Amino acid sequence: MTKRQDLIVIGGGPGGLVVASVAAQLGLRVTLIEKSDRLGGDCLHSGCVPSKTLIHAARIAHSARQGAESGLLASMPGIVFDKAIDEVHRVIDQIQAVDDPERFRGYGCDVIFGAARFTGPHEISVGEQTLRGRRFVIATGSRPAIPPIPLLEQTGFETNETIFRRRDLPGQLAVIGGGPIGVELSQAFSRLGSQVTLIEAADRLLINEDEQTSKLIESALAGEGINIITAAQVGGVRREGDYRQVALADGRTVECNRILVATGRRPAVHGLGLEEAGVTFSKRGIEVDRRLRTSQKHIYAVGDVCGPYQFTHMAEYQAGIALANIVFRSPKKTDYRVVPRVVYTDPEVASVGMTLAEADAAGIKYDIAEFPLAEVDRAITAGHSNGRARLLISKGRLLGASIVAPHAGELIHELALAMQVKATIKDISATVHAYPTYAQIHRRTVNKHYAHLLQSKKVRSLVWLLNRLLP
């Protein structure tokens, strides 16, 4: 017997969970299908949550080491790596409770575990079951992209999907890939005691950020003892017992006992029967319009599987757009003008809006306002000097912004809000910022940008006239 539903959601990650729970609570007949045996998606089980928990543990270890080196602590406490992994899984379990299938069933949403495959535009199969739906949302996420390195499979390697299940700290870790995942985990494992070599094919780390940001992060990582190799192609790998060797195309070799591949992610589109459904896709993912409709207008896609950004907060945002179109039939469209992005290194890197390269490519005239973290009093009190704020300004408003600083991921939201409501940078300057806080960097950046006006001939002449002519 074929079951008929108003909405079928494929994928139990952040985007799929939002769509399924809200639609069910609004009274639609909803089925949520998840390929694995648990809800939550990659973000909860192998991405954001475990990585940030391990990064937090590594930051504690780093602070203790700094305390011992400065004489504040009598000695450096021993690091018990498997306890850090225990904490990672405790946090996952705590958050997993929110994604309990029974919670969604309580909303009236059917939850099925198994691999879904389209057998036609309105029909899918899950094991022995067949379901027919009026509308569908594909939210299957992404998977690690594994480069074609000779002997990599035979040698053995880790990705973010496996590394958090390992309970032994690698003595020597080679990380292939200098993007966000690579730099975050390189720093975390280094702080926990691994000797880390970070290998990047491009000529700098974090290639999607501006060059100055890349240099700041590279300096921070190198200063903590991480061996960074850029502009290097991996020619192959091999294994002898418990040891591995990464051979670079230029003849250099990197010795290690574990390899972490962090070379990006690919949309999870294969095995879904998209051809049978008539859904257009490519290696970049499922093609959608601004309403998140695929080539079959009753089938939507959200999150990593369609892009353009592979962020959990983007999947949740897109889920809201899809819901507006599916449930309320409101022709709501995506707007990617203001999308915050964060790299959780120490210092953190946070950006929003246009980069310098994007503004140049668009032919937009802009000014740059910058302020060094080393001149922010709150940073001075905490001993943080490696960082800065940079604003791209056009006609008195923000085009984009980037911050390199502790808590940059929190700080960026003031600037994101300013962009969203189209506030001027004078509005930022006029806002009272508590002292001493890191957030003062926003006001200081704007004020420095306008400082030259104070001594301009025009302003000084106006002040002279006002003080001579008025009582």
User: Residue 77: its pLDDT value, please?
Assistant: 87
* Cα-Cα-Cα-Cα dihedral sign, residues 134, 139, 140, 146: positive
Output the pLDDT for position 396.
94
Asked if the 3-39+100-144+266-326 domain carries CATH number 3.50.50.60, the reply is yes
Residue 460 has pLDDT above 80, yes or no: no
Mean pLDDT score, 98-109: 96
Q: HSE, CB side, 13 Å, CA atoms: give it for residue 292.
A: 36
Weakest mean pLDDT among 177-181, 392-396, 416-420, 448-452: 448-452
Note every long-range contact of 312-317, with CB atoms under 8 Å and residues 24 or more positions apart, other chains counting. Answer: 312/14, 312/43, 312/47, 312/48, 313/340, 314/339, 315/13, 315/14, 315/15, 315/18, 315/139, 315/141, 316/14, 316/15, 316/18
Say what the pLDDT of residue 26 is. Answer: 96
Rounded to an integer, the average pLDDT of 439-455 is 87
**Token couple for 445:** 């950046």
Q: Is the pLDDT of residue 453 over 70?
A: no
Domain boundaries, the chain: 3-39+100-144+266-326, 152-263, 341-454
Q: Confidence band (pLDDT; 50, 70, 90) for 454?
A: low
Work out the pLDDT band at 94, boundaries 50, 70, 90: very high
| Predicted local distance difference test score (pLDDT) of residue 1 | 58
**Diameter of the chain measured on Cα atoms:** 92
Per-residue pLDDT at 412 exceeds 80: yes
Beta strand extents in 187-270 (DSSP E only): 195-199, 227-229, 234-240, 243-248, 253-256, 258-261, 265-267
Query: Per-residue pLDDT tens for 242-294?
Result: 899 999 999 999 999 999 999 999 999 999 999 999 999 999 999 999 999 99
Under DSSP, the state recorded for 164 is G
Mean pLDDT, all residues of the chain: 95
Which among 406, 391, 412 has a CA at the least distance from the CA of 348?
Answer: 406
Q: Is pLDDT above 90 for 104?
A: yes
Token code pair at residue 186: 């390189």
User: pLDDT at residue 322 above 90?
Assistant: yes
> pLDDT class for 441, splitting at 50, 70, 90?
very high
Query: Which whole number is the average pLDDT over 67-88?
Result: 91
**pTM of the full structure:** 0.94
- 341-454, CATH topology level: Enolase-like; domain 1 (3.30.390)
pLDDT tens digit string along 142-195? 999 999 999 999 999 999 999 999 999 999 999 999 999 999 999 999 999 999
Contact 317, 311 (CB under 8 A): no
pLDDT for residue 75 = 86
Do the domains at 152-263 and 341-454 have one common CATH topology? no
- Write down the pLDDT at residue 452: 72
**H-run or E-run covering 134:** strand 129-138
- Sign (positive or negative) of CA dihedral 133, 8, 33, 331: positive
What is d(CA 391, CA 370) in angstroms, rounded to the nearest whole number? 6
User: Among residues of the chain, what percentage have pLDDT more than 70?
Assistant: 99
Q: Give the phi and the psi of residue 458 in degrees, each rounded to 5.
A: -65, -45
C-alpha span between 2 and 98 (Å, rounded): 31
Cα–Cα distance measured from residue 322 to residue 19, given in angstroms and rounded to the nearest whole number: 8
**Where residue 463 falls among pLDDT bands split at 50, 70, 90?**
confident
Query: What is the pLDDT averaged over residues 451-460?
Result: 71
| Mean pLDDT on 38-56 | 96
- C-alpha distances out from residue 319 to 98, 114, 213, 302, Å: 18, 22, 31, 6
The CATH superfamily of 152-263 is FAD/NAD(P)-binding domain (3.50.50.60)
Work out the pLDDT band at 458, boundaries 50, 70, 90.
Answer: confident
